[in-house]
């Protein structure tokens, strides 16, 4: 098969089109989530939860957050492994759950977790009993009855209830069933997930790789988010000027015309989530700085990347101060000085963000 030779500009355009961020706004929430394959359900809401910003940036001011909540309540969407997905896509994961941890390409830590589960089987059965009897519950509602504590590099040491729930989600025994405040509610999976016929594992893994590539347009063979599910045999091979090594491209995008727009993005948007891909294609300098000490931040606690046309051009340091009804913008960082037309387009998008949030906009002096 011939290797497609792509300029950086064309590769960027493919990535933007695949993420539904070109000029034509989308109109259907379910179609958007289906195409994007998943939305990260991160609770941080400095401006708004990431999933909400992602949807607004695709659907525009016609989108309301209540729509996503409704789709989760009526099980049009389900949450699996921290990602919001169309409920029918559960069929792509049930065979893997049934065979967990011994699924194709499973990392070694799966087996270590399975051994920890076996050592705490009495705790596992107690947790499932509590959910059956009283669920849905948060992890805080369940006492730690583990006999062997969870050991890790330090982050999850002794977080035994959380690790038990996460392990049982991997096995398909429990499922996220909403939220109480910032905490996820958990219930028996059979009471949450739709009854869908599982897709055989090999077919499911390939379909997932194809869907991921369709949502990204162009990607490396090994996605850092899914290191055990390579995309090496989906799409077609490509090389991108100015970058090293091979890429995989979804050929559907190769002949599509591109027309860009301006968009303010979530820090967890899939266009920028893979930071190495972001640098390779967009040559964009960006990090989410919420975990850095304030004096070390260049762009702000939760700075929003700015897309204009086929370039990432800056960051907006903004905070939604809902108690006083304000979206406060502390800074608009321009990677290169904005032309007047670009500055106006970015300003209009920030105004649209404030209007969507139903907050008054306060700009830097």
Reported as a pLDDT band with limits 50, 70 and 90, residue 363 is very high
Question: pLDDT of 240-264, one tens digit each?
Answer: 999 999 999 999 999 999 999 999 9
- Rounded to the nearest 10°, the torsion over CA 12, 13, 16, 22 is 150
Question: pLDDT of 100-149, one tens digit each?
Answer: 877 655 667 777 888 899 999 999 999 999 999 998 999 999 999 999 99
pLDDT at 230: 67
Q: Which residues, including other chains, have CB under 8 Å from residue 269's CB and lie 6 or more apart? A: 19, 50, 53, 54, 57, 305
Ordered by where they begin, the domains of the chain are 4-82+208-253 (no CATH), 89-191 (1.10.10.10), 262-362 (no CATH)
pLDDT at 113: 85
Reported as a pLDDT band with limits 50, 70 and 90, residue 326 is very high
pLDDT at 228: 67
The sign of the torsion formed by the CA atoms of 252, 253, 259, 260 equals positive
Question: pLDDT of 208-230, one tens digit each?
Answer: 999 999 999 999 977 777 766 76
Reported as a pLDDT band with limits 50, 70 and 90, residue 157 is low
In this structure, are residues 246 and 238 in contact, taking their beta carbons and an 8 Å threshold? yes
pTM of the model: 0.93
Task: Output 222 or 319, whichever has higher pLDDT.
Answer: 319
N-term to C-term CA, the chain: 56
pLDDT at 365: 79
Question: pLDDT of 166-210, one tens digit each?
Answer: 999 999 999 999 989 889 999 999 999 998 999 999 999 999 999
Task: Output 179 or 57, whichever has higher pLDDT.
Answer: 57
pLDDT at 215: 96
pLDDT at 124: 96
pLDDT over 80 (residue 7) = yes
Q: Which residues, including other chains, have CB under 8 Å from residue 174's CB and lie 6 or more apart? A: 127, 128, 131, 165, 168, 186, 187, 188, 189
Task: Output 99 or 314, whichever has higher pLDDT.
Answer: 314
């Amino acid at each position: 098969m011939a290797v497609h030779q792509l300029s950086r500009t064309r590769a960027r355009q493919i990535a933007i089109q695949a993420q539904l961020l070109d000029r034509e706004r989308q109109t259907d929430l379910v179609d958007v989530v289906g195409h994007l394959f998943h939305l990260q359900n991160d609770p941080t809401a400095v401006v708004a939860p990431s999933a909400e910003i992602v949807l607004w940036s695709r659907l525009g001011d016609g989108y309301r957050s209540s729509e996503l909540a409704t789709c989760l309540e009526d099980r049009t969407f389900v949450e699996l492994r921290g990602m919001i997905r169309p409920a029918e896509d559960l069929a792509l994961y049930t065979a893997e759950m049934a065979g967990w941890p011994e699924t194709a390409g499973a990392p070694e830590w799966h087996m270590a977790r399975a051994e920890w589960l076996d050592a705490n089987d009495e705790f596992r059965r107690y947790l499932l009993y509590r959910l059956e009897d009283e669920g849905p519950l948060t992890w805080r509602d369940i006492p730690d009855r583990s006999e062997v504590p969870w050991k890790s590099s330090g982050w999850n040491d002794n977080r035994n209830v959380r690790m038990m729930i996460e392990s049982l989600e991997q096995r398909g025994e429990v499922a996220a069933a909403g939220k109480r405040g910032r905490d996820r509610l958990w219930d028996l999976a059979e009471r949450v997930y739709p009854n869908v016929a599982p897709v055989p594992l090999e077919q499911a893994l390939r379909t997932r790789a194809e869907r991921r590539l369709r949502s990204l347009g162009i990607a490396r063979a090994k996605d850092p988010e899914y290191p055990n599910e390579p995309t090496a045999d989906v799409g077609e091979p490509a090389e991108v000027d100015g970058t090293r090594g091979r890429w995989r491209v979804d050929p559907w995008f190769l002949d599509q015309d591109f027309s860009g727009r301006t968009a303010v993005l979530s820090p967890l948007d899939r266009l920028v989530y893979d930071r190495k891909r972001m640098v390779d294609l967009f040559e964009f300098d960006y990090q989410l700085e919420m975990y850095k000490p304030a004096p070390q931040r260049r762009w702000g606690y939760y700075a929003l990347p700015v897309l204009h046309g086929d370039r990432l051009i800056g960051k907006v340091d903004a905070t939604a101060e809902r108690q006083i009804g304000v979206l406060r913008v502390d800074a608009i960082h321009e990677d290169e000085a904005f032309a007047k037309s670009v500055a106006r387009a970015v300003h209009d998008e920030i105004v649209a963000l404030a209007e969507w949030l139903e907050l008054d906009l306060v700009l830097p002096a």
